């Protein structure tokens, strides 16, 4: 891409910060590593320090970079959950945001499960089984099983090795925690649905596993009555 494209008239918000982010990602920085100085980045990218400073400010707003008073900036890297954390602070209705993420989760998880099932090892299934049983136990005691629920669903798709999918799933619970009612009653029947998904996978019945996962999403009306769903959005976590 020509230098002219990155000239002074370029839209900084659309181009420059992305160019800087790609440069930092490709430099081999690990989360927690200090960033090069503004002068060093300017030299590497052929930019003035002021332009570099402005681009770094955008990356800080997205959470990729952290400033520390009296010290060099630190690289955090990209995590979709960071964006969700910032997004939820500005949305008018967290419950609407939760519903919209649930709708995407429903489609995503049920469509990807057939691809994931052959990659699940016996150890994976054992961990998922333990989580499903812990959810039931916690529900019977009237305790939240949101943490175990998150581990289960992220663990179910973990064999894909897709960091974006994993962070998207995590972002749901970031948003959900902001919208969750203090009066939610945990339902052991909803918790038990996770075990039936594992039953189907262990039986080698991928179609039934997808069906059980799909049915699981319909429990949201009973578990989270404060989140209003439309007639075609019967989902759960």
Average pLDDT over residues 25-35: 88
Question: What pTM, to 2 d.p., does this model score?
Answer: 0.66
Provide the pLDDT for residue 61.
78
Please state the φ and ψ torsions of residue 75, each to the nearest 5 degrees. -85, 130
Longest dimension (CA), the chain: 64
pLDDT band of residue 194 (cuts 50, 70, 90) is very high
Is it the case that residue 87 has pLDDT exceeding 70? no
What are the Cα distances from residue 74, in Å, to 5, 22, 69?
28, 16, 11
Is it the case that residue 132 has pLDDT exceeding 80? yes
pLDDT in tens, 154-172: 999 999 999 888 888 888 8
Per-domain boundaries in the chain? 3-78, 82-223
Fold entry, domain 82-223: 1.20.120
d(CA 100, CA 227): 11
Average pLDDT over residues 24-43: 90
pLDDT in tens, 120-131: 999 999 999 999
- Cβ atoms of 60 and 67 within 8 Å: the answer is yes
Provide the pLDDT for residue 82.
66
All residues at 6 or more sequence positions from 26 whose CB lies less than 8 Å from its CB, including other chains: none
| CATH number for the domain running over 3-78 | 1.10.10.10
d(CA 128, CA 119): 14
- Cβ atoms of 183 and 102 within 8 Å: the answer is no
d(CA 206, CA 82): 33
In this structure, of 11-15, 129-133, 151-155, the range with the lowest mean pLDDT score is 11-15
- Number of neighbouring beta carbons within 10 Å of residue 228: 12
pLDDT band of residue 234 (cuts 50, 70, 90) is very low
Is it the case that residue 11 has pLDDT exceeding 60? no
């Amino acid at each position: 891409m020509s230098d002219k494209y990155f000239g002074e008239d370029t839209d900084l918000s659309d181009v420059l910060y992305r160019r800087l982010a790609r440069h930092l990602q490709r430099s081999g920085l690990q989360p927690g590593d200090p960033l090069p100085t503004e002068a060093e980045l300017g030299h590497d990218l052929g930019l003035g320090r002021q332009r570099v400073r402005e681009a770094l400010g955008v990356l800080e707003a997205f959470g990729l970079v952290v400033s520390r008073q009296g010290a060099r900036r630190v690289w955090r890297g990209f995590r979709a959950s960071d964006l969700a954390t910032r997004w939820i602070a500005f949305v008018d209705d967290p419950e609407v945001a939760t519903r919209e993420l649930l709708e995407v989760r429903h489609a995503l998880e049920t469509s990807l499960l057939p691809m994931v099932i052959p990659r699940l090892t016996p150890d994976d299934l054992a961990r998922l089984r333990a989580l499903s049983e812990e959810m039931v136990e916690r529900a019977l005691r009237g305790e939240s099983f949101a943490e175990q629920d998150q581990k289960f669903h992220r663990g179910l798709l973990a064999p894909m090795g897709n960091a974006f999918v994993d962070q998207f799933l995590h972002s749901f619970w970031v948003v959900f925690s902001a919208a969750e009612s203090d009066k939610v009653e945990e339902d052991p029947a909803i918790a038990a649905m996770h075990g039936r998904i594992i039953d189907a996978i262990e039986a080698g019945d991928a179609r039934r596993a997808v069906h059980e996962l799909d049915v699981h999403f319909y429990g949201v009306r009973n578990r989270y009555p404060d989140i209003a769903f439309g007639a075609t959005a019967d989902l759960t976590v």
